[in-house]
Structure 1
Amino acid sequence: MPEASSSAEQSGSKPLPDQEVEPQEPVPSPDTQEPTEAALPPYEQVPPPGQEILAPTTLVLAGQAIHALTTDSPALYHLSLGISELSAITSEVELSRVDTKGRDRPIYELRHLKAPAGGMYPMPSESPQYHIQRANKRVSGPAAVGLKKTRSLLSRKITGLSAVPVDPSGKASKFGIPTFVKNAAPVLTTDGREWKDAQNKTIALVHDDRDDKQHSLIVTEAMPRSQFDMLVALWCCHIWEFGVAHADKVHEGVNGCAKSVKRKLRQSREFGMMYSAAPLGMIGTSSKFSK
């Protein structure tokens, strides 16, 4: 009988005298329990530079400023020259974005290439007559993008423009000028009335009034800041090209002479500004707009 009693004590809930008891942690009540990661409120992630999404809007060009919706709204972008009335003699225009503090931040340089060797040779098909180049490495996207004419296979008429990456080094050109990246796919395309992205989706509509020289861009899709800035720069390049292509022709007679004098005065002002700002070797002779 004593042995049975000893066995019962060993099987009971009380520990043996020589057995150590591990202390148990108290179970927190629901009122004092700390929140877990799953219970923490979500935080807003900051997108990388250039990847913040911009909503659709309408851009209006007024002189050297680009506004949203109306010309009396704060400027979103500034240009170093008024591109809608430039002649073929100008070779470079700077595009800046206005930041939240009202400061101009250069983002792209708009460039117009002249025919090589002072016009002795025609512009090579592998080189862009108009292209944009990043003003600094903080700007996302290709280092340079040029406007390349697209032609109909049957009539060979120009049907639009493709925005194709450009190698600005000039290493692939026998003239040492920028060239389109070989076999590069277009990042944007336009037929003069609308702009499409790489997936052939319409992202913006264009309105050009030749008589009043009014230009507007209706952005129809939301897009990252980097793509928006590139679209604006290429749109400005197209306006520049549009203005040169549709410049007043010089005619004989009194009216034609007056237009010629006015045009030459404007060109001399542009040349003077360009000469004072451009480094040696960047100034060449003007060339006609090639169809």
Structure 2
Amino acid sequence: MSHRNARLTVHGRQLLVDRVGSGRPVAHVAAEMGISRATAHKWIRRWRCEGESGLVDRSSRPHRTPHRTPATVEDRVCRLRRERKLGPARIGPVLGLPASTVHRVLTRHGLNRLAWMDKSTGTVIRRYERDRPGELIHVDVKKLGRIPDGGGHKVRGRDAGRPVRGMGFDYIHSAVDDHTRLAYSEIHPDEKVATCAGFLRRAAAFFHANGITRIERVLTDNAWAYRKGLAWKDALNQLGATGKLTRAYRPQTNGKVERFNRTLLDEWAYLRPYTSNEERSAALTDFLHTYNYHRCHTTLGGQPPITRVNNPAGQYT
């Protein structure tokens, strides 16, 4: 497993080593693979010193943290937070700790916000989640540059894979059920009113086929199509749903579909170098099937979204 922002996976580093080992200049191989010469030399040096094990990411965790707050003190901080609902500025003087240290301890244990805790027991609970499937659907659009035939810079290198003028963009329309996290996406050439309305109808049909028979509310951002589009409002009326807009400049309000968009990029759009736009588009169906029926979801206790559709009252920790 490589770090989230790493340019190369372990397999990519092995390819780098193989190409340099065949006698090719490091600078040429680095340019092909979209990395700097310094990065290429780093992995070559590690491979020569440690072999294949040197190509694996090293942990960023320090070997020792001598100044970390002792576990017994952290327990007292957490107890005061749960039992008396005190903040860092009040816990600090009681225990003789700076408020900033108390805040870090609370954040480490997920107690930094009282809104995340049950008031009577002090147990950490989810901040916000609808009680039943279909009560709220999050909808959003993600814009992606189209891939030219033969691949972009991830396949052909940064110089050879420069953006082609006029390639345009794909618009990924997504809908996520708030309670179950069941997701549906489509690729379209635009985000016009008619496109958004048609997507909503097909998304509703998808949810209905998977056991979510009624959509009560639909949450979107403040794009014109959602605010003023007559076709969008007609689609809501046909579903018997109410449209709801996020606060302006507050994408966090639509956080569940925003987080899904990030997963969409990591596990589909940027998962591997595609050689054409059609190849990437074709891979979306498999990703959605895996996400909904097989992929472990941390918020659902390691279960895929479909399990919560089948067990809407189930409790996940």
| Alignment TM-score, normalising by the size of structure 2 | 0.22
Q: TM-score, normalised by structure 1?
A: 0.24
Larger helix fraction of residues: 2
Q: Which one has more relative contact order, counting CA pairs under 8 Å at least 6 apart?
A: 1
Larger Rg: 1
